[in-house]
Structure 1
Amino acid sequence: MSKKKKIIVISSSIVGGLMIAVLLGVIFTGYFVGWGPFNKVANIRFRKMAGNADKYSVENVKPLAESPLEGKNICYLGSSVTYGASSLQESFVEFIAKRNGTTYVKEAVSGTTLVTTGAGGGSYVSRMKKIDKNAKFDLFICQLSTNDASQNKPLGSIDSTDTTTVCGAINTIIEYVKTTWNCPVVFYTNAYYESDSYAAMVAAVKKIATIKGIGVIDLYTDEAFNDITSEQRALYMADKIHPTKAGYLEWWTPKMEQFLYEAVRH
């Protein structure tokens, strides 16, 4: 074999190996997180978790006798946590609806970011603009995506409107919602997990909230909220980011409802 052919063979082997590694990485991540086409496969694993037992399912939840949210139509924008990727697609969205008698639009796609990248088709901003502009919403609730932190998206400045930055995307979402649906805007954070990038995002959205007059359900820095036992954490969380049904029902939903009750009263 000539030297040139050897180089071609070696190069092809390296490229092929890298492609296989990337594919395996995507499959591995998809299986454990439940992204896109891997969600049905991942659900096999999620169904075996104690926190996803049938007794925690939405169908077994009893409505509250009365609720300040009753009859409200809420729009939710987010990614895997809003979607319920590790809880068989039942998240706080469905639990709030069942308990409080709300209707909702759930625009949630796993793995997506606040910021716009490339063509931007999967970003929060681009998906928000596809929601019915003539809809009547009483609340708009947006997830502060952990994907932006894990993918090291730029934070940007607090007053930015550049949607390729986290702050710019947040500001754009707030202004678009106010102009299009004229309803209160609430961002919610994840429960605490170790991430300097996400901690910076939480601090930023709270600063923006003060300036823009919106609400923030801050689950991240709430020490009392995060002070749960290791047994509870094992039941409530499928991993450090994604709750199980039990986690949504018993841990996240009551805390979020408490904030939302006050939001609709004012």
Structure 2
Amino acid sequence: MAAEKKKRNVKKIVVRVLIGVAAFLLAEWCFIGWKFNFGPFKALGEIRLKGMPGNSDDYDFSKIEPMENSPLQGKTVLFLGSSVTNGAAALHQSIPEYFAARMGCTAIKEAVDGTTLCDTGKSSYIQRMLNNVDPDQQIDLVVCQLSTNDASKGMPLGDFGDDTATITGAIEYIIRYAKETWHCPVVFYTNARYDSDAYPAMVSRLYEIAEKEDVGVLDLWSDDAFNSISEEQRALYMKDNIHPYKSGYRDWWGPELEKQLLAYLEQ
């Protein structure tokens, strides 16, 4: 009897352990799914994003008025970036779609959430540029996002040179590859200002590289007036301090990037 009772207790303990492990794994799966937006959480996230005022139909890019005499009319533009370029909080309408609608260009959108300029693996900017974009493709302009992920992940700023595992080396490599492969202008655009110690150093380094390599900087970071919006506007334009809604791209970032790009192309 004692042996049977002991066996039953062991079984109960095993069952409880298995239930505990299963509960932990389920919770972990739910957390990861919510954080990284996959599976059913992706669908739920899309539904929630659609309901945000900044993603309403009023801000759909189909309502953007095309520019007359656009210098990019009929041109092909490669956009290289991460979640900001992807439009992760804007139902995938972002900078490439804005410029396509406004300036009449064909946009090649090479954007993956969470990726870095630094060459950290197959999803990095560099590897996707090398492996996903046809070197024989006609490309008239390359627009590259100065990724906030490099700042948040603590990627090394590095020094001038060929070390693509650093931010500096990766930017230099992208510029040189684009110029040698497609013989076209290259511009980088920054995020609007947010709370970061590392990102302003990246912006400063970008200006140094731009002067050395003769590329453009579309700078949303540095202008106090541009970044001085009301709390009501910020709530309408931004999901968080990094990712715009459609309204943020269309009515805040887009017109400023357009203005700066036109000035650069007219030089």
Measured against the shorter chain, the TM-score band is 0.7 to 0.9
CA shift for structure 1 position 240: 0.7
CA shift for structure 1 position 146: 0.7
Alpha-carbon distance in structure 2 between the residues aligned to 1:255 and 1:79:
20
Which residue, out of 142, 145, 148, partners 2:144? Answer: 142
Which residue, out of 45, 48, 59, partners 1:45? Answer: 48
Cα RMSD of the aligned pairs, angstroms, is 2.4
Alignment of 1:61-140 (within 5 A): 61-117=64-120, 120-130=121-131, 131-140=133-142
Identical aligned residues as a percent: 48
Cα–Cα, structure 1 residues 18 and 256, in superposed 2: closer, same or farther, change >3 Å? same
The alignment covers a number of residue pairs equal to 253
Alignment of 1:9-20 (within 5 A): none
CA shift for structure 1 position 180: 0.5
Alpha-carbon distance in structure 2 between the residues aligned to 1:222 and 1:26:
36
Higher Rg: 2
Cα–Cα, structure 1 residues 37 and 203, in superposed 2: closer, same or farther, change >3 Å? farther
Alpha-carbon distance in structure 1 between the residues aligned to 2:204 and 2:28:
34
Instruction: State whether residues 78 and 109 of structure 1, in contact with CA within 8 Å, keep that contact through their aligned partners in structure 2.
Output: yes
Alpha-carbon distance in structure 1 between the residues aligned to 2:176 and 2:39:
30
CA shift for structure 1 position 53: 0.5
Give 2:237's aligned residue: 236
Amino acid of the structure 1 residue aligned with 2:148: T
Instruction: State whether residues 73 and 103 of structure 2, in contact with CA within 8 Å, keep that contact through their aligned partners in structure 1.
Output: yes
Per-residue CA deviations over 1:226-261 (Å, capped at 9, x if unaligned) read 011111111110111000101000001111111111
Alpha-carbon distance in structure 2 between the residues aligned to 1:17 and 1:168:
45
Alpha-carbon distance in structure 2 between the residues aligned to 1:79 and 1:238:
16
Unpaired runs of 5+ in structure 2? 1-5, 7-13
Alpha-carbon distance in structure 2 between the residues aligned to 1:172 and 1:262:
25
Alignment of 1:154-169 (within 5 A): 154-157=156-159, 159-169=160-170
CA shift for structure 1 position 36: 8.6
Alpha-carbon distance in structure 2 between the residues aligned to 1:148 and 1:112:
8
Instruction: State whether residues 30 and 42 of structure 1, in contact with CA within 8 Å, keep that contact through their aligned partners in structure 2.
Output: no
TM-score when scaled to structure 2? 0.87
Unpaired runs of 5+ in structure 1? 2-8
Instruction: State whether residues 192 and 219 of structure 1, in contact with CA within 8 Å, keep that contact through their aligned partners in structure 2.
Output: yes
Alpha-carbon distance in structure 2 between the residues aligned to 1:77 and 1:107:
5
